[in-house]
Amino acid sequence: MMPRSAIKIIFAAVIAVLCCARRGWAAQYTVGDSLGWVPNHDYTRWINGRTFAVGDVLIFMYEKGHDVAEVTQDGWFECRAENPLFYSKNMDSYVPLERVGEHYFISTGPGDCHAGMNLKINVA
């Protein structure tokens, strides 16, 4: 009999393959490209020309002391991360885009969001 952990891994792989088969391979985007997730960067400019779809993955790469949180629209406008939908401070954070619609990301470090560490994308 196969261990449960192996069954879970196989199940996740099958779901990933089925998800990608619908539209081709999912894309991975490193937010900010080679600069990564840093203060004083124009992420509105970074998203120009990019199309995001369910199954794609955002990769946030940042220095210690920063983080990434997916927040509500209000949280994004107010640079506030109460009850985030996603939160990580791992310095390399992989965020799968699992639903259609607007997604809002901020860094919760002191002053980070107001210094430009905020991103709004639309997933088709």
Tell me the HSE value of 45 on the side-chain side, using a 13 A CA sphere: 6
> Encoding tokens for residue 54?
């369910």
Q: Say if 14 falls within a structural domain.
A: no
Q: What pTM, to 2 d.p., does this model score?
A: 0.79
Q: Which domain holds residue 67?
A: 26-123
How far out from the chain centre does Cα 60 lie? 7
> Encoding tokens for residue 28?
């991975």
- What are 65-114's pLDDT values in tens digits? 999 999 999 999 999 999 999 999 999 999 999 999 999 999 999 999 99
Q: What are phi and psi of 84, to 5 degrees?
A: -65, 150
The count of other CB atoms within 10 Å of the CB of residue 104 is 20
Q: Say if 20 falls within a structural domain.
A: no
Please, what is the Cα angle at 55 between 66 and 20, to 5 degrees? 145
Task: Return the CATH number at 50.
Answer: 2.60.40.420
- What are 25-77's pLDDT values in tens digits? 799 999 999 999 999 999 999 999 999 999 999 999 999 999 999 999 999 99
Give the residue with greater pLDDT, 4 vs 27. 27
Residue 6 has pLDDT above 80, yes or no: no
Q: Say if 77 falls within a structural domain.
A: yes
Residue positions counted in the chain: 124
Residue 12 has pLDDT above 90, yes or no: no
Total domains in the fold of the chain? 1
> Encoding tokens for residue 76?
């994004």
Q: Say if 31 falls within a structural domain.
A: yes
> Encoding tokens for residue 22?
């619908």
Q: Say if 18 falls within a structural domain.
A: no
Q: Say if 5 falls within a structural domain.
A: no
Q: Say if 93 falls within a structural domain.
A: yes
Residue 13 has pLDDT above 60, yes or no: no
> Encoding tokens for residue 84?
């985030």
